[in-house]
Amino acid sequence: MTARLHIDWTACDGRGLCVELLPEVLGRDPWGYPIPHTPGPIQVPENLIRHAEKAATLCPLLALRLQHPAHPPAAAA
């Protein structure tokens, strides 16, 4: 089971904490903003969810939301 990581791009300032905590998932673009290694929605594998949670808590701009598989995304509209 993977969790989905959302980045609020309007809040993100590219400080880089999330990239340190999730190097398996994220890298930094030339401007310092986090960029997933594989394009598309950011999926966090189960063994890294703890780190993703930590990244969401520590993000200085509160720009991360972790959507757990237990709470499926709301129906699209």
The answer to whether 76 contacts another protein (rule: CB under 8 A) is yes
By C-beta, is 43 or 57 nearer to another protein?
Answer: 57
Note whether 66 binds another protein by CB under 8 A: no
- What H or E segment, with its residue span, contains residue 42? strand 42-44
Asked whether position 71 contacts another protein by CB under 8 A, the answer is no
Q: Could you tell me which residues come within 8 angstroms of residue 12 by beta carbon, excluding any fewer than 6 positions away?
A: 33, 34, 61, 63
d(CA 12, CA 53): 16
Give the number of residues in contact with another protein, rule: CB under 8 A.
37
User: Bridge partners of 3?
Assistant: 44
Q: Which residues here bind another protein, judged by CB under 8 A?
A: 6-17, 20-21, 29-33, 35, 39-41, 54-55, 57-58, 60-62, 65, 67, 73-77
